[in-house]
């Protein structure tokens, strides 16, 4: 049986982990890494640091009210 619930959309952004950097990690390129589970390359908009994530940032999540 289906039921509906009110929810709100929230944007989740990931910021660089490098000390003193305030850049945002954004998807870099159109490839996915064939790991288990699949990962996506991201690059810092400020310092250029690269990191792989299981999610694609920025992402939208839904929170039930």
pLDDT along the chain (65 residues), means of 10: 96 97 92 84 96 95 94
> Which pLDDT value is given to residue 35?
78
Residue 28 CB burial class (10 angstroms; 0-12, 13-18, ≥19): middle
- Please report the pLDDT score of residue 25 as a whole number: 97
Extents of the domains making up the chain: 7-64
User: What's the pLDDT at 13?
Assistant: 98
What CA–CA distance (Å, rounded) separates 23 from 5?
Answer: 35
The pTM assigned to this predicted structure is 0.81
- Asked whether 16 and 23 are in contact (CB, 8 A), the reply is yes
Identify any residues that bridge with 63 across adjacent strands, giving them in sequence order.
8
């Amino acid at each position: 049986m289906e039921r509906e619930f009110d929810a709100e959309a929230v944007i989740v952004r990931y910021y660089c982990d490098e000390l003193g950097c305030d850049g945002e990690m954004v998807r870099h390129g159109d490839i996915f890494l064939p790991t288990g589970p699949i990962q996506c390359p991201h690059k810092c908009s400020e310092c250029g640091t690269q990191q792989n994530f299981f999610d694609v940032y920025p992402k939208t999540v839904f929170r039930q009210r």
